[in-house]
Homo-oligomer: A and B are copies of this chain.
């Protein structure tokens, strides 16, 4: 079922942090690798479906992807340089569960991100 091109995953690894489909595509171009934008999109989507990469959406609407560990975590994102730090959810894990139960929700997940300016910015 793996529709993902391994070179895409490899490039995302090299990218080190978050990268959009367009960025991955250009990285591969600059590296002299021949690939189509379509395949990059398909691969990233597949990786996301398989929970191998993390998907976030930037304010400008562009989706960004990043390899992520299997542990549940959240992000502290810099509005300036775009750097993202993985952080533990701590107290909000219980908060989410409590809130959901309180309103009779099941099959519950949550998202939480913190935005700010890092020291460098």
Contact = CB atoms under 8 A, between A and B. Distances in A.
Interface of A: 57, 61, 76, 78-79, 85, 87, 89-92, 94-96, 99-100, 103-119
Contacts of A103: 76, 85, 87, 118
- The count of identical subunits is 2
Of residues A87, A99, A107, which shows the largest number of chain B Cβ atoms within 10 Å of its Cβ?
A99
Nearest to A119: B104
Contacts of A114: 96, 99-100, 105, 108-110
Nearest to A105: B116
A99 to B, nearest CB: 5
Nearest to A94: B91
Given A94-B91, A99-B87, A117 B106 contact: yes
Contacts of A105: 76, 78, 114, 116-119
A1 B89 CA distance: 40
B95 A116 contact: no
Contacts of A104: 118-119
A89 B103 CA distance: 15
